[in-house]
Homo-oligomer: A and B are copies of this chain.
């Protein structure tokens, strides 16, 4: 899904000097939060595949990760803290309500703490001694798990205060990323560096599940058996820091929850409001939840009810966490798509590095945009990478049909008539025998799509082979579950051509570098860094290779690029994303 808040994906400055950055790369692996020591182990156990390691410890199923994270989030609280606070005293104060499993601080509009108790009961204990604020203003007396810690006696400026280590919740600046890339040892190292800088941290993932859990509290007030689950980039392995938080209100559990015991001739049902369709039911439920978020939800601002979209949603900003949230309902195919991507992202450590780099490359050249239009989407790019990796010999990734053949009875899943069955246990999928380097795969990716017969062939990860296009859209990528749909139906011929041109040029740059053996010690940007430069389409010495674009096309692209950059940091201005296939 497109992100709106990360300006880093725009063109990088050319001025970066490799020599300015000397930090070792392994530094990037440890989170600056207070729980850094635990982070790596937890990343493993909770499904964040670590780059580079070919660790073969059992990987958790998507559903297991979601369940554990949700349970974890339910015993977690969010606390707005005074700027000057002693961490030790803070923890001691909270420990009165029970042992703390984990905590970290982060900065947003103020200093926030995320505190995970060992037991859920501790949250209720904390709430029981929490008061409603008594200020000059009136308040909505809503009691959530979002607190405001105050000091009775604010410390004087001179008193000593320990400095709180803050977990970083945003991606590096363009300048810093560029420096890191130029300082890398190899192209492989560059791709892994980019991944490490942009991927969701353990803390950020926790914050996402916590935000869902806080919203779930609001929905659960009326629908006790509902679940609010993150889907899309927050959980599919391909999310980057700052990406939107897509949430799904799952009411399906409600129907299942009551084991209906029949007795004699009687049948007891809840008296409920009947509506003409599931869609109307969804709209009404989202409408009320939207009202609640708007009027009661602490920190929920800019609530928009977009109920007439194909997939009705409520969009809002969660101020404390800084997440732009989209809440939809009963959108189960989207959740299944997330699971599929999660499996692909976790199967081989090269997948995420390649996808992150391709997405970053596309963003740098304005091939993708946060506003809807004729652009290619991140989801489409991901499908192209997966498809490309299925086409290698031996394949890096299996086809979806193969994953389906591995499925057992409990994996069976039919949603709205679509067969969404595939194996859910990662550990039962044989690792790839392909040993190609990331550098080679990157180069080959550009080669492959620089020469793909888009005019007649369709991309589909289900079969993992080129097929005749069933319709005339310039780019045809089959929706993996709703197979009659083309996920890139929106892409125009000119945008596709731009993609092809840039792919060819990038392949050429990498090829040239191979021949010229550019030295990492030179001051020239190289490898991935070179590919992200704005000059790639114009300034390199390969103008002869491409058909010269007409001037008006270039002006149009420039305008698009400016437009997309200017909207990237604004919230709530972009149009509706209605694609239920978002994963």
A residues engaging B (CB < 8 A)?
A: 78, 80, 89-90, 93, 96, 126-133, 135, 137-144, 146-153, 218, 221-224, 251, 254-255, 258-281, 284-285, 287-288, 291-292, 295-299, 320
Cβ distance A319 to chain B, nearest Cβ, rounded Å? 10
Q: Which residues of B contact A267 (CB under 8 A)?
A: 131, 149-152
> If the complex has contacts A138-B280, A141-B255, are A147 and B270 also in contact, measured as CB distance less than 8 A?
yes
Q: Decide if B269 touches A131 in the complex (CB within 8 Å).
A: yes
* Copies of chain A in the complex: 2
Contact residues in B for A262 (Cβ distance below 8 Å): 152
Give the distance in Å from the alpha carbon of A129 to the alpha carbon of B269 in the complex. Answer: 9
24 pairs, CB–CB < 8 Å, chain A vs chain B: A78-B271, A96-B263, A128-B258, A129-B268, A131-B258, A132-B258, A132-B269, A135-B274, A138-B275, A139-B272, A139-B274, A139-B281, A141-B272, A142-B223, A143-B254, A147-B268, A147-B271, A151-B265, A153-B265, A218-B222, A221-B221, A271-B298, A271-B299, A288-B295
Complex-state Cα separation, A262 to B269, whole angstroms:
47
Given B152, B263, B272, B292, which contacts A142 in the complex, CB threshold below 8 Å?
B272
A272 CB contacts on chain B under 8 angstroms: 132-133, 139-142, 298
Nearest CB in chain B: distance from A362 CB, A: 39
Is A152 touching B271 in the complex (CB atoms < 8 A)?
Answer: no
Distance of A298 from chain B, by nearest CB (Å):
4
* Shortest beta-carbon distance from A216 to chain B in Å: 13
Alpha-carbon distance A84/B172, docked complex (angstroms): 72
Q: Is the pair B276, A138 in contact by a Cβ cutoff of 8 Å?
A: yes
> Shortest Cβ distance from A220 into chain B, in angstroms?
9
Closest to A224 in B: B143
Which residues of B have CB within 8 Å of A279? 138
- Whether A273 and B222, one on each chain, are in contact in the complex, defined by CB atoms closer than 8 angstroms, is no
Q: A224 vs B128: C-alpha distance in the bound complex, in angstroms?
A: 12
- A522–B340 CA distance with the chains assembled, in angstroms: 91
> What's the nearest-Cβ distance from chain B to residue A391, in Å?
44
Complex Cα distance, B296 from A221, in Å, reads 12
The distance from the CB of A152 to the nearest CB of chain B, in whole angstroms, is 5
A218 to B221, CA, bound (A): 9
Q: Are the C-beta atoms of A251 and B141 separated by less than 8 Å?
A: yes
- Known: A152-B266, A287-B295; 15 extra A-B contacts, CB below 8 A, are A126-B268, A130-B270, A131-B258, A137-B274, A138-B280, A139-B273, A140-B285, A149-B269, A151-B265, A152-B262, A218-B222, A221-B221, A222-B292, A273-B298, A284-B295
Q: Are A288 and B285 in contact, with the CB atoms below 8 A? A: no
What residues of B have a CB within 8 angstroms of the CB of A254 in the complex?
Answer: 132, 141, 143
A221 to chain B: which residues have CB within 8 Å? 221-222
The residue in chain B whose Cβ has the minimal distance to the Cβ of A280 is B138
Name A261's closest neighbour in chain B (CB-CB): B129
